[in-house]
Amino acid sequence: MRIVVCVKQVPGTSDAKIDPNTKRIIREGIKSIMNPFDLYAIEAAVQLRERFGGEVIALSMGPERASAVIREAMAIGADRGALLSDRAFGGSDTWATSYALSRAIDTIDALSKSSGGVDLVICGKQAVDGDTAQVGPGIAAHLGYSQAAYVAAVRGVKQDSITVQRMNEDGYDVCEVAFPAVITVVKGLNQPRVPTLRGVLAARAADVPIWKPADIGAALDKIGLDASPTRVVKTAPPEPRGGETVRIAGTPAESAARLVELLKARELI
């Protein structure tokens, strides 16, 4: 099985500030980490390779320092990786990001066609900075791959498909998804392993190729800020909730009765 895992470098703090002019996160001076959901994606890919053979390729798009997340993925068990990095990719929204990543996946697929090409792409369910959860499904749409989002368990793998349990609002669905496929994964799918010292040292010494738009056949009018159909025009923290806090004392029965009384008084029940 050949599996591509998309990993994103994100600010390692919830206090990241937004530049009021560009509406982009100010990343300077902030420690960066791998998007936490992507750790589950790598672990899932490495477990599948351990069971069925093949290779795991970590892929990211970002500034050159984002090669750190590729190395981290390799320390955990990815066999190799590549980083899309060029000013032309800068400012891409989810549509342009998923287009660029899909071009890279298509390139990996074409280069490995003689040994079966790409079977599966795994993404985290969402990145903790942009938080849109659109990039995985966007990659599937650009490539015409089948997809399942919010995957909480892998139920089984056949020659030409993977069966997954995906979360929905009322419970879960079990879906058999034909290869090539994209899945996005949620926390709790597995327990991401801690990298070994040997893995860390090998990853540090590994070559992480940097791919430019021409290397992946990406059209310049489909990447970057100008090609992005979405503009973030405003970002704001949620308004603090108003209202008073009422403490209810007494036995559980008395408290419950008082709570019902208060809710009725406010016409909430």
Contact between 25 and ligand FAD by CB under 6 A: the answer reads yes
Q: Can residue 260 be called a binding residue for ligand FAD (CB under 6 A)?
A: no
Alpha-helical regions (H) of the chain: 36-52, 67-76, 94-111, 135-143, 197-205, 252-265
- Give the residue with the Cβ less far from ligand FAD, 8 or 166: 8
Binders of ligand FAD among residues 154 to 183 (CB under 6 A) are none
- Nearest distance from C-beta of residue 24 to ligand FAD, angstroms: 6
* CA-closest candidate to residue 151, choices 172, 169, 178, 132: 172
Taking CB under 6 A as the rule, does residue 239 contact ligand FAD? no
Q: In this chain, which residue has its C-beta nearest to ligand FAD?
A: 130
| Residue (of 53, 114, 105) closest to 84 by Cα position | 105
Beta strands of the chain (E only): which ranges? 2-6, 9-11, 32-34, 55-61, 80-84, 120-124, 146-158, 161-168, 171-178, 181-185, 210-211
The mark string for 124-153 relative to ligand FAD (x by CB under 6 A, - otherwise) is: x-xx-xxxxxxxx-----------------
Interaction mask 43-82, ligand FAD, x per CB under 6 A: -----------------xxx--------------------
CA of residue 263 relative to chain centroid, distance: 40
Determine the size of the site formed for ligand FAD (CB under 6 A).
31
* 7 binding ligand FAD? (CB under 6 A): yes
